[in-house]
Amino acid sequence: MTLIKLEVEIVVLIIWILALSIQLFYYLFFYLRLSRKKTYCGNTLPPVSVVICARNEEENLKNFLPKILTQDYPNYEVVVVNDASEDNSDLVLKDLSEKYKHLKISTIKKDEKFTHNKKLALTIGIKAASNEILLLTDADCYPVDNNWIKSMVSSYKPETEIVLGYGGYEKQKGLLNKLIRFDTLTIAMQYFTFAMAGFPYMGVGRNLSYKKSLFFKNKGFASHSHLRSGDDDLFVNETANKNNVSINLNAHTLSVPEKKFSLWLLQKKRHQSTFHRYKLKHKILLSLEPISRWFFYGSTIIFITIKPNLFIWILGGLFLKWFFLILAYYFSTKTLKEKDLLLFSPLLDIISLILDLIIKINKNPYRVKAWK
């Protein structure tokens, strides 16, 4: 019995050390890159087409579109695709087009015999765009200042075809808001630092730029046009490489976050539905970190239970993990202007792990929306 107990302790210890080592690797090799990264700023200001798709976004268009139409940039157009809206979006866009001559409107009429997702609307918007440089955002997003276009475009180097930006959420009261913003911050920390390490794998459509020629060279969204999601992450996953991607840590957009936990989980489920189509190396890198986190926290609890006399050493390992976690989030929250999340990062690190498991094991928790 003593021999079996000793073998169990050794196995748990090996798992604990291995999981901790993997965790530290992610912090040191990937996430802490944000501590020393400066956004490239070029001097050229090429013409830009901002492309936005909207379905029943009357209020958001009224409140947020003027913030995009009044950007401090010498030569740009804003292409809005009004995709079969049933509210007064058409009237809002008509009024704005009379005031802002650089606003172009494309309208998709509702057809009961024909259903489609956002990708068709986005394809129509890109075809209508006059310029090579495309800048994408959503109708429920707005830039934090009037230099958004200038900042994003300045990240283009001669070899750049894609620029990844940060699309955050408004700061509001409550735990749900912190969960949404922490999750968004963590995803951004991943796709920024992975790209910096030479493994670009995704971007977010709330703040993303790429060249029109790249879109058509890739045949648009042809390989995944049947999927509801993927107009941003799958497109980047297919076309990005270590040479043609730049990141921008300064130009931010904000969105209004979900107010209900169930709707946020639905949104998360929809976003995660594209993961199986990622390249194998990206799936391995993205899966290994949360799996090692589960093994680390699980083996920590088991080890404390079966070997309480080593509590101080186990606690030391836990503090070592949290030290680098807090250090990584210190630079991330500072750079991406989410400083209030730093204090909660160890707790949210655990909570987010549990929520991800809930989403994965619950195959169809809510009815999925057909668009966006």
pLDDT at 61 over 60: yes
Q: Per the domain annotation, does 122 fall within a domain? A: yes
Residues 212 and 261 in one domain: yes
pLDDT in tens, 127-149: 999 999 999 999 999 999 999 99
What pLDDT does residue 161 have? Answer: 98
- In-domain check, residue 43: no
Domain hosting 317: range is 2-35+282-361
The verdict on 14 and 108 lying in the same domain is no
**Residue 36 in 3-state DSSP?**
coil
Domain check: are 15 and 138 in the same one? no
Q: Which contacts qualify for 149-152: CB closer than 8 Å, 24 or more apart?
A: 149/48, 149/50, 149/71, 149/72, 149/73, 149/76, 150/45, 150/71, 150/72, 150/73, 151/39, 151/41, 151/248, 151/250, 151/251, 152/207, 152/209, 152/248, 152/251
Segments of 17-114 assigned E as strands: 48-54, 76-83, 103-108
Q: Are strands 208-211 and 141-143 parallel, antiparallel or unpaired?
A: unpaired
Count of structural domains within the chain: 2
Task: For residue 289, give both structure tokens.
Answer: 């970190």
Residues 6+ apart with CB under 8 A from 81: 51, 52, 53, 54, 105, 106, 107, 108, 121, 122, 124, 125, 128
| Model confidence at 100: pLDDT above 50 | yes
What is residue 342's DSSP assignment? G
pLDDT digits (tens, 9 = 90+) for 342-362: 999 999 999 999 988 888 777
Instruction: Summarize pLDDT for 196-220 with one digit per residue, the tens.
Output: 999 999 999 999 999 999 999 999 9
Residue 116 predicted with pLDDT over 70? yes
- Which pTM does this prediction carry? 0.93
**Edge-to-edge strands, sheet with 103-108:** 103-108, 76-83, 48-54, 133-138, 208-211, 162-169, 245-255, 141-143
- DSSP-derived pairing of the beta strands 103-108 and 76-83: parallel
Q: Which among 262, 278, 294 is the end of a domain?
A: 278
pLDDT value for 45? 92
Q: What is the pLDDT of residue 328?
A: 96
Q: In the structure encoding, which two tokens stand for residue 175, read together?
A: 């735990």
- Same-domain check for residues 194 and 128: yes
pLDDT: which is higher, 235 or 10 = 235
Q: To the nearest whole percent, how much of the chain has pLDDT over 90? A: 78
Q: Lowest-pLDDT range, 26-40, 284-298, 317-331? A: 26-40
